[in-house]
């Protein structure tokens, strides 16, 4: 059950201050949490839909921190010369921004284990059932990038979440079904770890390296 405590209230104020946008929390029952940017009376507004029963404080904080990254001038200016408007680059950008979010959550005494574990288990079941990750995507290069980003995300969050034996199964399935994406995911994760990605400039440097690595 979600409780809006002082940590969340302070973060709500920070989002409004750093993005210059109004913010609305909208209780919903079907989704744990989801953020979106809408236009209302010619002004952009950040809305966070959440389930009071399913959403944990760390889950809500994750979406609020993402709202800062995607709308704060410092983060926007750092990557303004990088074209990140296609889906592959958006996925990579989300991955590169993850270390800063995890760092900020720790700094605020919050954790994100619930939503990370839920996403992992969905991916694991999908991986068990499909011939290869993202096999529904016709573009082979795009399929490889999505799969590699997915595996890199798993590697970067292993220290935050105890995936246990399921993690071992996940790794073995990737070795068997998509070894090329596994290798690319490992290289991508190493670039992010090397650059740390705790500041907009570090994130920009990592984005440049990864875009070059995957040739987009």
pLDDT score recorded for residue 101: 94
Q: What is the per-residue pLDDT across 190-203, written as a single tens digit (0 to 9) for each?
A: 999 999 999 999 99
Q: What is the per-residue pLDDT across 144-178, written as a single tens digit (0 to 9) for each?
A: 999 999 999 999 999 888 999 999 999 999 999 99
pLDDT score recorded for residue 35: 80
98 has a pLDDT exceeding 80: yes
pLDDT score recorded for residue 37: 80
- Of the given ranges (2-16, 25-39, 198-212), which has the lowest mean pLDDT? 25-39
> Which pLDDT band, with edges at 50, 70 and 90, does 85 fall under?
low
pLDDT score recorded for residue 1: 58
Asked if residue 67 lies in contact with residue 12, where contact means CB atoms within 8 angstroms, the answer is no
pLDDT score recorded for residue 174: 98
State mean pLDDT over 58-80: 89
pLDDT score recorded for residue 188: 98
User: With pLDDT > 70 as the criterion, what percentage of the chain qualifies?
Assistant: 97
pLDDT score recorded for residue 38: 83
């Amino acid at each position: 059950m979600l409780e809006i405590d002082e940590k969340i209230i302070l973060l709500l104020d920070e989002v409004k201050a750093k993005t210059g946008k109004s913010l609305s929390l909208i209780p919903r029952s079907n989704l744990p949490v989801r953020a979106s940017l809408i236009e209302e009376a010619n002004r952009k507004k950040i809305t966070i839909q959440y389930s009071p029963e399913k959403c944990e404080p760390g889950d809500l904080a994750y979406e609020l921190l993402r709202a800062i990254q995607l709308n704060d001038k410092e983060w926007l200016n750092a990557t303004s010369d990088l074209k990140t408007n296609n889906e592959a680059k958006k996925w990579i950008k989300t991955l590169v921004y993850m270390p800063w979010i995890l760092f900020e959550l720790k700094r605020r005494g919050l954790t994100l284990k619930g939503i990370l574990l839920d996403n992992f288990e969905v991916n694991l079941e999908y991986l068990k059932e499909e011939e290869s990750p993202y096999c529904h995507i016709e573009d082979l290069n795009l399929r490889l990038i999505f799969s590699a980003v997915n595996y890199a995300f798993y590697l970067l969050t292993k220290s935050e979440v105890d995936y246990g034996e399921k993690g071992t199964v996940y790794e073995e399935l990737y070795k068997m079904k998509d070894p090329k994406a596994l290798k690319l995911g490992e290289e991508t994760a190493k670039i992010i770890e090397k650059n740390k990605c705790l500041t907009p400039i570090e994130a920009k440097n990592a984005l440049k390296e990864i875009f070059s690595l995957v040739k987009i």
